Amino acid sequence: MIVILAVIIVTLLYYYTTKNYSYWVKKGVKHDPPVPLFGNNFKNYLGLASITEASVELYNRYRGEKVVGFYRGPKPELLIRDPDIIRQILTTDFNSFHRRGIGRDPVKEPLFSNLFHVDGDRWKLLRQRLTPAFTTAKLKAMFPLIVECAEKLQKVAAESASKDVDCDVRDLMARFTTDFIGACGFGIHMDALNDENSLFRVLGRRIFDLRFVTILLIALKDLFPNFEKKLPPVSKKLKDDLTKIFTKVQEERKGQHSGRNDFVDLLLELEKKGKIVGPSIEKTNADGTPVQAELEMDVKIMVAQLFIFFAAGFETSSSATSYTLHQLAYNQNVQEKVYQEIKTVLAKYDNKLSYDAVNEMPYLDMAFKEAMRMFPSLGILHRVCARKYTIPEINLTLDPGVKILIPVAAIQNDEQYFENPSEFIPERFSSDNKMKHNYVYLPFGHGPRACVGERLGQMQSLAGLAAVLHKFKVVPGATSKEILRVSHISNVVQSVKDGLPLRLITRN
């Protein structure tokens, strides 16, 4: 009896996990043969390859194809190799692909009610309300807070240089970014640069240092989507900590503007405007006009925006700036050009960082963009087909719910678009060089769902880089490795193993 029951269970499990495996065969889309239960995502589920690594491998194996089929567990997904199709998905036909499809239940896990993870009307209304928070005037007003953090960064870097030992610049820039987020996001001086166990530094580690149980829960969500609501939340402690911090700051500023011009101030201003109302992106009236959608800007929603301000800014900026320093250490001729530019520009501003000074450093900006091309923080973009859609170039019709993968890391390192892609050449991004296609460089995404904080992230990153490079030369250290090892368990955001050790040398 037990044997019969086991056979029935195995048979049902096999049917459930393989019933969709004919999807791409019927559509005539090339793909690797899927493995029962795991699909084509076997290595990722076992922590042997990140989804970015898997996408790069798939992209390179199917050269000549515009799209490639993929199965994440039982679900069919489509990897896009063609930049023209990418443009249609991200911009031209955005309404058919407005969902990211990577969030979790925002009722069960309120932190996922943030601009990055939510979909549909919640996303549209939040984007409508938050976009004005990143105007040039508001960015300029935030810059003095960035300068404070940059000056502390120089002091900590000086201590490392005086010891004449390798410095993990990945950790150094993470602590700088943490201080910046504490100051510009929460209005709190966390001093993560001097205290590696400060509250925000601990929060940052908790978000991105994935534990086995978290990886297992994510895999179960993919493999058995119908059971998602039965899975326990993975962010309760984090939500409680962030809510406690926010409500304390909110209480301190009740009824007044703090004058700090930080993200909390901006959120409290937005809260005063009341309910967010706008045309729906999901529902229409009988006459075809969009239904009016609305969303209350309550504490849960505001804490969720602070969470993504912290999470997105912390990992992406610290990764991009530390990788830039890594490349400059191994390309001394480029570093010298960057240094001469920083020195010349800051001499005009009494050797002090300012918003205008950073905007007068085009070569530093080019070097930063080149580093993000080689190692984008987000190695892959996700979208979901919201309604039946036909890709005109290949006459392929997709059904609602099919997920889209855009392999950013693979495209940005394709010699078809970037000659000698493994070489660090900032001049690729000079005003004289025209990119072969606008949709082959996507570190911040593109279209209506491009990163809303792109300019703030770049401004903070360039300021941090200028602060370090103005005072210090970076060179490979005793434990440095030019070719980095990518973490196999990272997914949405790429990360490296063993840090980024370099030697800092004080400039005369």
Residue ranges of the binding site: 451
Helix/strand/coil percent split, the chain, to 5: 50, 10, 35
Distance from C-alpha of 175 to C-alpha of 170, rounded to nearest angstrom? 9
Q: How far is CA 342 from CA 160, 220, 439, 490, in A?
A: 21, 49, 30, 34
**Contact of 318 with 173, CB cutoff 8 Å:** yes
**Contact of 467 with 323, CB cutoff 8 Å:** no
CA dihedral 242, 243, 248, 249 (to 10 degrees): 60
The torsion angles phi and psi of 392, rounded to 5 degrees, stand at: -65, -40
> In this structure, is the dihedral angle defined by the CA atoms of residues 72, 307, 129 and 262, taken in order, positive or negative?
negative
Q: How far is CA 110 from CA 124, 303, 307, in A?
A: 17, 8, 10
CA dihedral 390, 394, 398, 404 (to 10 degrees): -110
Q: Which two tokens stand for residue 438?
A: 């606008």
Distance from C-alpha of 220 to C-alpha of 71, rounded to nearest angstrom? 15
CA of residue 161 relative to chain centroid, distance = 31
Residue ranges of the binding site for heme: 451
Q: Exposure of 22 by Cβ count < 10 A (0-12 exposed, 13-18 middle, 19+ buried)? A: exposed
Q: How many CA atoms lie within 13 A of 380 on its CB side?
A: 28
Q: Exposure of 132 by Cβ count < 10 A (0-12 exposed, 13-18 middle, 19+ buried)? A: exposed
State the CB neighbour count (10 A cutoff) for residue 292. 12
The continuous run of DSSP H or E covering 146 comes out as helix 136-163
* Side chain identity at residue 25, one-letter code: V
